[in-house]
A = this chain, B = another copy of it.
């Protein structure tokens, strides 16, 4: 079975086979085109600003030159970390999904150049890795750290993107040759596991693309072989590599966050293609563990700088959160697979949280600078080693920027799916949607100012003659939603419904006609969010959210003399937050570059005395420390301004906070 001839249709990076045990299916037919909103802006920015930057950097940093050295054979001066090839592959994958780019001169030139180099560098047996070929390292001899199969996985994903996005199979052929070599080298053996997963999900997709079951079997083998010490030791122990237990035997997500999350994508892929309910359940359990106790409010994962790793349950520091950008992307990919498998809206909820906060915040407003680490707090005069913690144009370990680009280039894939005769819409943005349902093509135009406003309009452009359904995700953060069809809250005398079903979707099934309009209004009034008391690092604080957006307080937005770190939120009143969607003040700060909508809150700005006991910041006199709940709160009353988290660090590099101490106004201790 080959799908290579479908290249002109809408194709996605995840396309379960007809036999796969999934609830949702990606669209067939023309699919989705982004027409407006943040997602479309981000996609365009990535294409127009980020991608050209990547092409320059990949040449400047040696990624392309490493291939030339590999062609020349061992002995040259390899540059960068072992996995430099993967940055090329992720960029090629981005280009693959940017179908409109195939005609661009510079892009096409880069693609042709790199793919030609890859063809030449690939060894006769199909092996391809510039690091080992230049350094002379024995193939697969240091899998704990060499990233050889990790690079192979990204090559396969890039090849699939080119085939599905552009119709060109030249890169896929290189990838398939390498995959065949992997089958020869690893299938049915205990020949080792790559320390950094991604090969698993890549091989399943290659199976889906080619129909060759050897790739599925090898992916399954790699998944099942974890937990037996076959990944070796990278110096951080077995949990770091998710090699401490077989995946079926543990329910707590652990170790290096990106590795863990990429592995889970492969676990779900293998589970749905093999119909393995137990395997799927193990991944669902780890997702629930991650969400319940190891995920930042921004959707970020990985609490620890050391080992770029998940922490203990409820270890969620805002300042030291690592929240690697690649982890946000990997989480997004895992949740998408679970959404397809189960149809449960909670996975799309997390994807939205990640998308608008942890992922979006990783890119500067101009698309030219990137975060690798995405904390929820930056103190004044912050340093991590010599790094003040601002976005950077590129990194010596540059996994994140091209990863951002490949997701940005494929965002339209995550908008909608089908379940039988029902079109499901998961994310809200301007989009043309055309789904080929069994009953016929269902064309819907989505228009919205989301996330700035909560109203979303779905206008039917084309519909099957028979009844079909339009199912809208109602986000968990919304207090239900107000729905109308053609302006009426009822259809055939029945209320359309304001509450979603158990899966989180509100479905309207009827014989749709062109021109029919379904509207959904969600509650995007600013809201206060409180942390679970088990999260020690957030005790006595609250955050502000509005719709899917987490807000933050940046120093540059505050009144003169008011320090972000001295602010405490006043949450005593009812009209405690003012912002668009709320009742009171709409503040559009168009004058601030990159800042669309701000929220203004009442706060207390303290001028905190230093405890004088011993010089230490600990005292027996609670009145000078003002813990939450203390009788004398002190501090002058000021107005403080918050902006969407994803827009921080676009002006200066001063302090930022998401979680704000609560200002209390009395009561016993």
Contact = CB atoms under 8 A, between A and B. Distances in A.
Interface in A151-200: none
A628 B625 contact: no
A307 B385 contact: yes
Interface residues of A, number: 92
Contacts of A240: 385-386
A304 B387 CA distance: 15
Given A315-B319, A614-B477, A625-B532, A540 B540 contact: yes
A557 B312 CA distance: 22
Interface string A540-566: 111100000000000000000000010
A571 interface: yes
Contacts of A659: 536
Nearest to A614: B476
A619 B529 CA distance: 5
A668 B667 contact: yes
- Interface SS of chain A: helix, strand, loop or mixed? loop
A383 B616 CA distance: 30
Contacts of A667: 629, 664, 666-669
A417 to B, nearest CB: 20
Contacts of A350: 614
Most B CB within 10 A of own CB, among A318, A477, A669? A669
Contacts of A317: 317, 320, 537
B379 A617 contact: no
A526 to B, nearest CB: 11
A510 B307 CA distance: 62
Nearest to A531: B618
B610 A292 contact: yes
Interface in A613-627: 613-622, 625-627
Contacts of A236: 385
Contacts of A320: 304, 311, 315, 317, 320
A291 B612 CA distance: 11
Contacts of A386: 237-240, 244
Contacts of A346: 614-615
A501 B311 CA distance: 47
A606 B534 CA distance: 11
Contact of A305 (B304, B313, B621): B304
B383 A312 contact: yes
A661 interface: yes
Most B CB within 10 A of own CB, among A252, A383, A665? A383
B628 A535 contact: no
Nearest to A291: B615
Contacts of A381: 252, 312-313
A226 to B, nearest CB: 15
A379 B314 CA distance: 9
A349 B379 contact: no
A539 B377 contact: no
Given A293-B617, A537-B537, A531 B315 contact: no
A628 B572 CA distance: 14
27 contacts: A237-B387, A239-B383, A291-B616, A292-B617, A295-B616, A297-B616, A307-B385, A316-B617, A346-B614, A477-B613, A477-B614, A530-B619, A532-B610, A532-B618, A533-B627, A536-B537, A536-B659, A537-B537, A539-B540, A540-B540, A540-B629, A541-B627, A572-B668, A572-B669, A628-B629, A629-B662, A664-B667
Given A532-B608, A540-B627, A628-B628, 15 more contacts: A252-B381, A292-B617, A295-B617, A309-B385, A527-B620, A530-B620, A533-B606, A533-B625, A535-B617, A539-B627, A629-B629, A629-B667, A665-B668, A666-B667, A666-B668
Shortest Cβ-Cβ A-B pairs, 7 listed: A667-B667, A629-B629, A237-B386, A532-B617, A237-B385, A540-B540, A305-B306
